[in-house]
A and B are shown apart, each in its own frame.
With several copies, the nearest count.
Chain A
Amino acid sequence: PPPGGTPCPPPRLHGPLHLVLSYVNGPPP
């Protein structure tokens, strides 16, 4: 755990412009 046990909040929504790939229906062929 990080020093002091500081919790890690969820990521902020803003950020660099990146395409995200997620698998939503099983593995690819």
Chain B
Amino acid sequence: GITEAQALAIVNNALKLYSQDRTGMVDFALESGGGSILSTRCSETYETKTALISVFGIPLWYHSQSPRIVIQPDIYPGNCWAFKGSQGYLVVRLSMMIYPTAFTIEHVPKTLSPTGNITSAPKDFSVYGLDSEYQEEGMLLGQFVYDQEGESLQLFQAMKSPGKAFQIVELRIFSNWGHPEYTCLYRFRVHGE
């Protein structure tokens, strides 16, 4: 058995970690911290033309989430970047040059998905370190699988240290969990030294 004081300490430490972006680790991809989206290579935003913005009854444009949302912390349902199909690319410039050590992919929790499933979640993906934005094949930092039955936030350790620092990384998604039309990316984080 534990004492009340011990229980309080456990709870407070857990909340403290939770309040630190849930991981207590720097996210060098975070936009407000200095990260930015450079390119989506050949992937295309999936346009649904469903969210119509109008003023005084006059339709203005259809709103869709841009790739920037992948490096922003809001993961409420719908606040994801959707690309056509299940193969997508995202080239991210980090806030500084680092030795990447881990990556986080987050998807909306299944319990909050209006459809009851997360078939649009990414499945197989890789992360590469690039020397420049236009480099076609960077250094593979790791190949991973986001598990739709796992936690909403999943952390992936990079392969053995590449021994090289990068300020640009490329996220390549190869497959999703079954959605026939698009894949949604809620948030991608890059951790390192």
Contacts and interface: CB of A to CB of B under 8 A. Distances in A.
B168 to A, nearest CB: 12
Contacts of A9: 42
Contacts of A2: 87, 174
A19 B82 contact: no
Interface string A10-23: 11110111111111
Interface residues of A, number: 23
Given A27-B95, A29-B80, A18 B66 contact: yes
Interface of B: 31-34, 36-57, 60-68, 78, 80, 82, 87, 89, 93, 95-96, 114, 120, 134, 136, 174, 182, 184
Interface of A: 2, 7-13, 15-29
Contacts of B134: 10
A15 B65 CA distance: 12
A19 B50 contact: no
A11 B64 CA distance: 18
State the main secondary structure of chain A at its contact with B.
loop
Nearest to B31: A21
Given A11-B41, A16-B47, A29-B80, 16 more contacts: A8-B89, A10-B41, A11-B39, A16-B45, A17-B56, A19-B60, A20-B66, A21-B51, A22-B51, A22-B52, A23-B36, A25-B50, A28-B50, A28-B78, A29-B46, A29-B78
Contacts of A15: 44-45
